[in-house]
Amino acid sequence: MLNPEFTEMLRLTDATVFDGLPEALTATAPETSVRLNHGKAHGADIASLCGDPGIADGTVPWSTGTGFYLCRRPNFTLLPALHQGLLYVQDASSMCLSHIIAALAAQLGGGALRLLDACAAPGGKTLCAADALPAGSLVVANEYDFRRAEILRENVIKWGLPSAVVSRGDTARFRRLPEAFDIVCVDAPCSGEGMMRKDATARSQWSPALVRECAARQDEILGNIWEALRPGGYLVYSTCTFNAVENEQLISRFAADNGAESIDTGLTEFPSVLPALKDYPGIMAARFLPSRVRGEGIFVSILRKPGIHIPSVNDLPATHRTSRKDRRQNAPRTDLRSYAAQITDPTAIVEASGDSVRALPASHANFIHTLEKELQTIHAGVELATIKGRDAIPSHTLAMSRILSPAAFPTAEISLADTLSYLRREAITLEAGTPRGYLLLTHAGHPLGFAKNLGSRANNLYPAPWRIRNL
């Protein structure tokens, strides 16, 4: 049951726009939709990845070729493709970000960019944005909450992004990085009205006071990240809520205070997507309502910062020079040159970082080091290995990466049953004649993770925090 104050708020805001919405929130079931990872899936389709020939139920209009509706919800935990980073379960409405980012990147010249996703967990919008950016771009995904930041990190790693950084902390830290990003996305913490159909907590916790509290927090976040946006750059603001206080009203005031220009999202070309409320004629936006679209409720608006845009990648030299003392302190006891053959990017900078070895995108290496000084980063680039004594243990990040060289390690294809055992982090037995040492395990031809074959048994190297606990 919906809060009567909530339904009255909808009626008073715009009865025509919100006609049928209360019924949609209480009497209809949420859709199931997924995004396909074209950077890793390499021709696989949704039906094969889900193991169900009849499961596809149409394409998400604003995510053509990557977003798909499913006619039934599979047990995703049992789908290897999910753990391999070949698909991601995401609400269809949220997939609109890929459409937006592709258009904004073209407006900014089509070259490499830096994008900040300031409130990024669990990561679906980060993955959308990363896939829509031009080649050579960098994504920085930040999350305030410690546990949600770990989920964000896991999803970024599984998606295989070679040019991504994950940080943890308050958005106020980005004030230390003035004019660092060409695009900033803020999927702001909100009152959650758009999630009421599938989240009972969103229904029970709603109140006018919560709306006001969220709007104050959203305004604070926008103030924090505005300084990190370059002149001429774009702020993409979104919420999963309906009220004007957290949406048009907030954006209208922020734009006026900062001289920002409201930009067309390009999404209202889809007939089911509504524009901003008519009471805010200076604001362009897109509204997704579950009474009109096959997805949940979201609001999205774009602001352009005043000034002439100069791409962020022009700012700093690509490489980061360390002193001889730093190199001695950080270098693991191994030859870094031997790692270059493990990846397909010949320009990547392979460097030591504590007891690990990682590959950073050459054009962003210097900036990534700056981020590590100013933020609490928990992931950057592609970790290749962890050094323990004389042993170099290959990282699961490398197994998931889009730049893993297919010739880097011997491979062993394993069955579905063995795959599920591996994902539970149980011991598995490999076929006789399988090479000893570190192996890349695959399922259906796609990387799954590493194991160390000792002959009589194989050590399972799947990350312990990610293991499947319940089947």
In angstroms, rounded to a whole number, what is the distance separating the alpha carbons of residues 450 and 73?
29
Shared domain check, 215 and 236: yes
Residue 328 has what pLDDT?
Answer: 38
Domain-embedded: residue 161: yes
Shared domain check, 153 and 193: yes
Shared domain check, 413 and 398: no
The first and second tokens of residue 108, run together, are 């900014």
Q: What is the pLDDT of residues 202-214, one digit of tens each?
A: 999 999 999 999 9
Query: Within 13 A of 195's CA, how many CA atoms are on the CB side?
Result: 16
Mean of the per-residue pLDDT values of the chain: 94
Shared domain check, 349 and 270: no
Q: What is the pLDDT of residues 225-247, one digit of tens each?
A: 999 999 999 999 999 999 999 99
Residue 398 has what pLDDT?
Answer: 99
Domain-embedded: residue 72: no
Q: Which residue has the higher pLDDT, 70 or 389?
A: 70
Residue 118 has what pLDDT?
Answer: 99
Across 450-458, average pLDDT: 92
Range of the domain at 418: 409-471
- Per-residue confidence band for 471, with pLDDT thresholds at 50, 70 and 90: low
- Per-residue confidence band for 316, with pLDDT thresholds at 50, 70 and 90: low
Final residue of a domain: which of 349, 384, 405? 405
Domain-embedded: residue 52: no
Look up the CATH number of the domain holding residue 240. Answer: 3.40.50.150
Residue 15 has what pLDDT?
Answer: 86
Residue type (1 letter), 129: A
Across 113-136, average pLDDT: 98
Shared domain check, 255 and 339: no
In angstroms, rounded to a whole number, what is the distance separating the alpha carbons of residues 87 and 159?
8
Which residues in 197-332 belong to E strands, given as ranges?
A: 229-239, 261-263, 285-288, 298-304
Across 103-119, average pLDDT: 98
Shared domain check, 25 and 120: yes
The first and second tokens of residue 345, run together, are 């990017």
Shared domain check, 355 and 268: no
Residue 334 has what pLDDT?
Answer: 56
Whether the pLDDT of residue 28 is over 90: the answer is no
Whether the pLDDT of residue 455 is over 90: the answer is no
Domain-embedded: residue 48: no
Q: What is the pLDDT of residues 37-56, one digit of tens each?
A: 999 998 889 999 999 999 99
Residue 390 has what pLDDT?
Answer: 87
Domain-embedded: residue 443: yes
Q: What is the pLDDT of residues 148-169, one digit of tens each?
A: 999 999 999 999 999 999 999 9
272's CB contacts (< 8 A; 6+ apart) are: 61, 292, 293
Domain-embedded: residue 61: no
Across 364-376, average pLDDT: 97
Shared domain check, 342 and 293: no
Shared domain check, 398 and 413: no
Shared domain check, 156 and 114: yes
Q: Which residue has the higher pLDDT, 355 or 328?
A: 355
Q: Which residue has the higher pLDDT, 405 or 330?
A: 405
Partners of 141 in the β-ladder: 117, 166
Domain-embedded: residue 58: no
Final residue of a domain: which of 304, 325, 347? 304
- Please name which of 81, 161, 54 lies closest in space to residue 445, comparing C-alpha atoms: 81
Final residue of a domain: which of 281, 304, 327? 304
The DSSP secondary structure of 308-377, one letter per residue, reads ----GGGSS-SS----HHHHHHH--SS-GGGGGGGBS-TTPEEEEETTEEEEE-GGGHHHHHHHHHHS-E
Shared domain check, 205 and 182: yes
Whether the pLDDT of residue 329 is over 80: the answer is no
Number of domains in the chain: 3
Residue 172, helix vs strand vs coil = helix
The DSSP secondary structure of 50-106, one letter per residue, reads HT-TT-EEEE-GGGTTTEEEESS---GGG-HHHHTTSEEE--TGGGHHHHHHHHHHH
Domain-embedded: residue 104: yes
- Per-residue confidence band for 333, with pLDDT thresholds at 50, 70 and 90: very low
Shared domain check, 344 and 285: no
Active site residues: 240
